[in-house]
């Protein structure tokens, strides 16, 4: 069930050993053990190529962008806008003007909900989301529906962790104005059929808003092929820095939307009697932007492009399949969501009646970093009647040997809790 169009395979396939050399943090130890970083769904580590790009900006060409006419400002502006162009190419956006730079996926989704939603939603309208959404694709729609009088509905998930497509048929109606959904669940790992869901939304006259936070780092993304109206993602989940996110928006929609924030750089003219807005994308980028972080994301995009997104996806699938099999050996461990061939590179699980925070703390003593909690997706956990899970997630630098270490540590946890 492919979500994205895969990129071409590079002429020389990368090796994980060579990739690991690019990540300084992987050389450190935690509690006297080599670090095994399996918290990639929350945030990925950064290669030296990203660190160096940001360092060079601060050391050699730091200045504010767009308004200055001096050399440093012009060089900083060129580096900043060149990064935007590479980001646009990475997702095959028709124009860099449709690539709005934000702080993260959360801000991107809030931008769409507040600006499009306040201008277009009214009492009697419906917003449709799914039960597997991250809170960032739930709470903004709850707020905007309360503000506008629109009704919020959701598509349930099946016991196996897929969207209930039969229920979807009855929920998408002529009253639906927005269908907002994740491309990949950050708990279940479920990969949703984005193109099909977009078509279904458009068939009833609704816009399609895609949370790509988990999918864009893993799968080559072609927004023109997907035909989504909006797509949001974050830099820190794809080897880039924190504090930089993206929302791609269809140009005609962005041009019709009011600004999200007011201030410098998003205006063309300000008078005491009123203001006129800047052109895209600057209309939605008030104030001094995250210049270094944007440059860092540009370097991360270059790094992933060099690896080849088809290789990234295949590596994650192989590692996830291996981890799925190994974790099945641990008696009393239950993995949420679909099988390994139908999911992204993460496994959220429960181990008997041991609290996930306790499991994560024990794993940490072996130098293994995993995430424990509800992962900002409480409705999923409510669906399964549990409060939290432990989540191991994989990326380009992880290995089967690290999975083996994870399994050994889980056996330690079982022995400690006498399971």
Confidence at residue 68, expressed as pLDDT on a 0 to 100 scale: 82
The span from the CA of 24 to the CA of 28, in Å, is 8
Which parts of the chain have pLDDT scores under 70? 1-13
410: β partners:
none
pLDDT in tens, 63-76: 999 988 899 999 99
Q: Is 7 within a domain?
A: no
Considering the domain architecture, whether residues 194 and 213 belong to the same structural domain is answered as yes
Q: Is 5 within a domain?
A: no
How many structural domains does the chain have? 2
Tokens of 373: 């909690």
Residue 401: give its domain's CATH number: 3.90.1150.10
Tokens of 253: 């929609």
Which of the listed residues 290, 305, 320 is the one where a domain comes to its end? 305
pTM of the full structure: 0.94
Considering the domain architecture, whether residues 261 and 235 belong to the same structural domain is answered as yes
Q: Is 93 within a domain?
A: yes
Q: Is 315 within a domain?
A: yes
pLDDT in tens, 323-372: 999 999 999 999 999 999 899 999 999 999 999 999 999 999 999 999 99
Confidence at residue 126, expressed as pLDDT on a 0 to 100 scale: 98
Considering the domain architecture, whether residues 197 and 274 belong to the same structural domain is answered as yes
Considering the domain architecture, whether residues 392 and 328 belong to the same structural domain is answered as yes
The beta strands (E) that lie in 282-362 are given as 333-335, 346-351
Considering the domain architecture, whether residues 118 and 250 belong to the same structural domain is answered as yes
Considering the domain architecture, whether residues 141 and 214 belong to the same structural domain is answered as yes
Considering the domain architecture, whether residues 247 and 318 belong to the same structural domain is answered as no
Q: Is 3 within a domain?
A: no
Confidence at residue 12, expressed as pLDDT on a 0 to 100 scale: 58
Which of the listed residues 243, 272, 305 is the one where a domain comes to its end? 305
CA-to-CA dists, residue 168 to 1, 47, 129, 203, 331, angstroms: 18, 41, 10, 13, 36
Kindly name the residue from 6, 16, 376, 407 that is annotated as catalytic: 376
Considering the domain architecture, whether residues 293 and 164 belong to the same structural domain is answered as yes
Considering the domain architecture, whether residues 37 and 100 belong to the same structural domain is answered as no
Residue 169: give its domain's CATH number: 3.40.640.10
Domain region containing 193: 51-305
Question: Is 145 annotated in the active site?
Answer: no
Question: Exposed/middle/buried for 355, CB within 10 Å: 0-12, 13-18, 19+?
Answer: middle
Considering the domain architecture, whether residues 254 and 360 belong to the same structural domain is answered as no
The span from the CA of 397 to the CA of 28, in Å, is 14
Question: Exposed/middle/buried for 233, CB within 10 Å: 0-12, 13-18, 19+?
Answer: buried
Confidence at residue 177, expressed as pLDDT on a 0 to 100 scale: 98
Q: Is 259 within a domain?
A: yes
Considering the domain architecture, whether residues 57 and 132 belong to the same structural domain is answered as yes
Confidence at residue 8, expressed as pLDDT on a 0 to 100 scale: 34
Confidence at residue 7, expressed as pLDDT on a 0 to 100 scale: 36
Tokens of 179: 């269908």
Confidence at residue 9, expressed as pLDDT on a 0 to 100 scale: 39
Considering the domain architecture, whether residues 264 and 401 belong to the same structural domain is answered as no
Contact 247, 111 (CB under 8 A): yes
């Amino acid at each position: 069930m492919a979500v994205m169009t895969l990129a071409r395979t590079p002429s020389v396939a990368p090796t994980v050993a060579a990739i690991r050399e690019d990540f300084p943090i992987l050389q450190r130890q935690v509690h006297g053990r080599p670090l095994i970083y399996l918290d990639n769904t929350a945030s990925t580590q950064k290669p030296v190529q990203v660190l160096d790009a940001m360092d060079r900006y601060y050391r050699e060409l730091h200045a504010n962008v767009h308004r200055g006419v001096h050399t440093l400002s012009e060089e900083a502006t060129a580096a900043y806008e060149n990064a935007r162009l590479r980001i646009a190419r990475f997702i095959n956006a028709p124009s860099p003007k449709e690539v709005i730079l934000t702080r993260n996926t959360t801000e991107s989704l809030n931008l769409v909900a507040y600006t499009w939603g306040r201008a277009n939603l009214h009492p009697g309208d419906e917003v449709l989301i799914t039960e597997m959404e991250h809170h960032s694709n739930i709470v903004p729609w709850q707020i905007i529906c309360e503000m506008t009088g629109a009704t919020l509905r959701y598509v349930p998930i099946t016991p196996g962790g897929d969207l209930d497509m039969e229920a979807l048929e009855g929920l998408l109606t002529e009253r639906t104005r927005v269908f907002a959904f994740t491309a990949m669940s950050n708990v279940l790992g479920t990969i949703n059929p984005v193109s099909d869901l977009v078509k279904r939304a458009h068939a009833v006259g609704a816009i399609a808003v895609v949370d790509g936070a988990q999918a864009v780092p893993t799968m080559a993304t072609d927004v023109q092929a997907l035909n989504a109206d909006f797509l949001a993602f974050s830099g820190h989940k794809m080897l880039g820095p924190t504090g930089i996110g993206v929302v791609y928006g269809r140009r005609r929609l962005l041009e019709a939307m009011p600004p999200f924030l007011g201030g410098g750089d998003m205006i063309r003219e300000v008078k005491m009697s009123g203001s006129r807005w800047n052109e895209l994308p600057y209309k939605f980028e008030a104030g001094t932007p995250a210049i270094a972080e944007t440059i860092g994301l540009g370097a991360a995009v270059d790094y992933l492009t060099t690896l080849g997104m088809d290789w990234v996806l295949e590596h994650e699938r192989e590692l996830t399949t291996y981890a799925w099999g190994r974790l099945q050996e641990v008696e009393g461990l239950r993995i949420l969501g679909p099988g390994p061939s139908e999911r992204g590179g993460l496994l959220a699980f429960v181990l008997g009646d041991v609290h996930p925070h306790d499991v994560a703390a024990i794993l940490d003593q072996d130098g293994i970093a995993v995430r424990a909690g509800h992962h900002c997706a409480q409705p999923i956990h409510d669906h399964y009647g549990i409060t939290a899970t432990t989540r191991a997630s994989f990326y380009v630098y992880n290995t089967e040997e690290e999975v083996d270490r994870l399994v050994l540590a889980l056996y330690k946890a079982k022995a400690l809790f006498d399971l």
